[in-house]
Amino acid sequence: MTTSKQLLVRTAARNNAEWCAAMSRSHGVVGEFGAQAWAAPSRTPPYYPDAVTLVPGADPATLVARIDTGAPGACVKDSFADLDLAEFGFQVLFEAQWIHRPASAPAPAAGLSWDVAGDPDTLRTWALAWDVGGGDAGLFRPELLNNRASFVLAGRSTDGRVVAGAVASRSDRAVGISNVFALDGGPDTAWPVVLDAVTELFPALPVVGYEQGDDLATAVRHGFEPIGPLRIWLHGR
């Protein structure tokens, strides 16, 4: 990995850790940023890691000691894909690629209007559309609205229904995108409206995130570049 890409990965990892911290706080779980990683002492919400490394070469023993491996589902986001946590009882759950889109890249034409969810009812409507009956809509609690760096983006059809969206997380050097969805057409439908919103809200910030498989290929079609691998480690699989 080149030095410039490693710096971009550090930016993406820090941004993602701040988003994970915000989501965890909305569930009453308070983590702590350290020199090598952000980590939470108790289990974080479903689908969210207990720790995110911020620099390459983090010390595995120190990292694992900061999280609760006794709770089912404990996991670590290995932001540089350079750790070996097998001896601590972890297995690789999946691998993905960090992605980056320059602030100067033009936004594609969006076929949907958008707004930012700003109240509990709108957030609930967005969460139900994101979840599509999966039973996880409660993951997005009203407390999340207290975080001024998180923006729940709702893409709307002409009749006002939420049919696409994502979460944008602003940090000092980038805006991170996660939870991208569209009820019809998948990410190819979602990305134009999401990028239109991000370009208007944060015109000076590059966009980062991570994807894998077909979703990664879709992000590349919409102007992103893969910048480095990451791994998710799950304890006791």
Query: pLDDT (tens digit, 0 to 9) for every residue of the chain, 237 residues total?
Result: 677 898 999 999 999 999 999 999 999 999 999 999 999 999 999 999 999 999 999 999 999 999 999 989 999 999 999 999 999 999 999 999 999 999 988 888 888 999 999 999 999 999 999 999 899 999 999 999 999 999 999 999 999 999 999 999 999 999 999 999 999 988 999 999 999 999 999 999 999 999 999 999 999 999 999 999 999 999 986
Residue 2, CA atoms < 13 Å, CB-side half-sphere: 5
- For residue 168, the cross-strand partners are 151, 177
Model pLDDT, residue 110:
84
> Distance (Å, rounded) from C-alpha 8 to C-alpha 34?
19
Model pLDDT, residue 1:
65
Strands 162-170 and 150-156, sheet pairing = antiparallel
Model pLDDT, residue 237:
66
Q: Are 58 and 69 in contact (CB under 8 A)?
A: no
Q: Which residues have C-beta within 8 Å of that of residue 172, sequence separation ≥ 6?
A: none
DSSP class of 196 = H
> Distance (Å, rounded) from C-alpha 189 to C-alpha 181?
8
Backbone φ, ψ for residue 87 (5° rounding): -70, -15
> Distance (Å, rounded) from C-alpha 31 to C-alpha 217?
33
Radius of gyration of the chain (CA): 17
> Distance (Å, rounded) from C-alpha 21 to C-alpha 142?
15
Q: Concatenate the DSSP letters of all residues of 193-209 into one string.
A: HHHHHHHHH-TTS-EEE
Residue 133: burial class (beta carbons within 10 Å; 0-12, 13-18, 19+): exposed
The identity of residue 179, as a single letter, is N
> Distance (Å, rounded) from C-alpha 27 to C-alpha 17?
15
> Distance (Å, rounded) from C-alpha 210 to C-alpha 216?
8
> Distance (Å, rounded) from C-alpha 1 to C-alpha 5?
6
pTM: 0.96
